[in-house]
Amino acid sequence: MIKPSRLIRNHALLLSAALATAGFSGSALAEELRLITWGGYAPDDVVAQFEEETGIDVQVTLSNNEDMISKLRATGGAGFDLAQPSQDRIVGVQRQFNIYKPIDFSRVNTDQLQSSMVKATQDSTELDGKYYGVPSVWGTSGLIVHNDVADTVTDYTDLCDAGVEGQVSYRLKRPTLIGFAFAMGMDPFAAYSDRDAYQDIMTKVESKLIDCKSNVKTYWTGGDQLLSLLRTGEVKAAMAWDAGGWKLNAENPDIGFVAPESGALGWIDTFAIPRRSENEEAAYKWINFVMQPEIAARITNASGNFTASKGADEFVKADLRDAYRDSFNDAAISNIKWYPPVPPGLETMEGQVLDRVQAAN
């Protein structure tokens, strides 16, 4: 039998040994890329191949727009070497918190990117003549609808229809405000530069969302939560991302992604380099690596969203391509409303609207 004091000493030894190795492993590996990104954007096999080819160790942190900005803001742009915020959330944030550094496009292999998307992203991430984003993955928000209610729900505001009471879900976040505004016949993007007009739109959306609250089963907060609500049939219609709809479509053909009549909301997630990135070289290597057509297609297959890589489509799984075509005909594609950069201050306004909706009874 081991005496207790001995046991404790052994444990203490083990612990200090573990601490020592943990301390060493941080400094021993010379090259490391700390990537903060969305779920599915850095699949394990892609990371493994990158590590094998370059010898750079990749640390992936999964996140979302707000979380990314908050984390980088807390450290003044340190802690990560590469981030993937959406293109509309860069300029305003950069102006307020100065957390990114400009992209050196001479180090990006733009030949393998779709030039129209590079141009669009440059335009929307420009600040003082410098560009802050490289396009990576794009997608849309729209409606995921079960066939049972497909005739009722064709636009965002149809989620408030009495016929689907207690069977709908959406997020309490800004895309919902924007989507409802479009479906109510207003153009929030045009009002971005006019605070009073925007406030006016938000006030109308607020009262609509408060009226609609009794129709909602729950406000979803995470992708997996929403998918399980739809999978079990507890929710029949929801405002959500296209990729989620296509994923469910593969499991159950009765559920599909629909581009709403007033237009799906299009976003582009970018690569942006935090201001105090410690390994820019590796960051550019990663950008050029994952935007190769075959690798990019693997990201599409994993996340469900298409990339800015040129020629990647032919490597994408056939059923995903079919699902995409089912959801988007040419008219629906040209009707996509792409998010323009959010001016600083608007999000505070939206925040108060969302808080009031959340607190309303």
**Interface residues with other proteins (CB under 8 A)?**
66-67, 69-70, 73, 93, 95-97, 166, 173, 213, 216-219, 221, 232-234, 344, 347-348, 351-352, 355-356, 358-361
Report angle CA 144, 182, 184 to the nearest 5 degrees: 100
Give the pair of three-digit tokens for residue 15: 């612990």
Nearest 5°: the CA angle 10, 11, 14 is 90
Please report how close the Cβ of residue 211 comes to other proteins at its closest, in angstroms.
13
Minimal distance in Å, beta carbon 232 to other proteins? 4
Minimum CB distance to other proteins, residue 66 (Å): 4
DSSP three-state, residue 138:
strand
* Residue nearer to other proteins on the CB measure, 212 or 259: 212
- Alpha carbons 31 and 39: distance in angstroms, whole number: 23
- Min CB(359)–other proteins separation in Å: 4
**98 backbone dihedrals φ, ψ, rounded to 5°:** 50, 65
Strand arrangement, sheet containing 57-62: 57-62, 32-37, 82-83
Nearest distance from residue 217's CB to other proteins, in Å?
7
Taking CA atoms, 134 is separated from 157, 175, 232, 248, in Å, by 34, 22, 38, 30
H or E element, residue 241: strand 237-241
Closest to other proteins by CB, 114 vs 218, is 218
Return the number of the residue (50 or 339) whose C-beta is nearest other proteins: 339
Q: Which residues pair with 258 in a beta bridge?
A: 143
* Residue listed under structure tokens 């009765």: 254
With beta carbons less than 8 A apart as the criterion, state whether 339 and 162 touch: no
CB nearer to other proteins: give 31 or 347: 347
Whether the CA torsion 337, 343, 348, 352 is positive or negative: it is negative
Compute the distance between CA of residue 130 and CA of residue 191 in angstroms, rounded to an integer.
25
Question: Minimum CB separation from other proteins for residue 102, in Å?
Answer: 18
In this complex, which beta carbon is closest to other proteins, that of residue 72 or of residue 291? 72
DSSP 173-234: SHHHHHHHHHHTT--TTTTTT-HHHHHHHHHHHHHHHHHHGGGBS----SHHHHHHHHHTTS
Q: How far is the CB of 231 from other proteins (least distance, A)?
A: 9
Nearer to other proteins, 340 or 344 (CB): 344
Q: Considering beta carbons, is residue 92 or 266 the nearer one to other proteins?
A: 92
Q: How far is the CB of 219 from other proteins (least distance, A)?
A: 5
Residue 214 contacts residue 160 (beta carbons within 8 Å):
no
* Closer of 220 and 289 to other proteins (Cβ): 220
Show the tokens assigned to 332.
């629906």
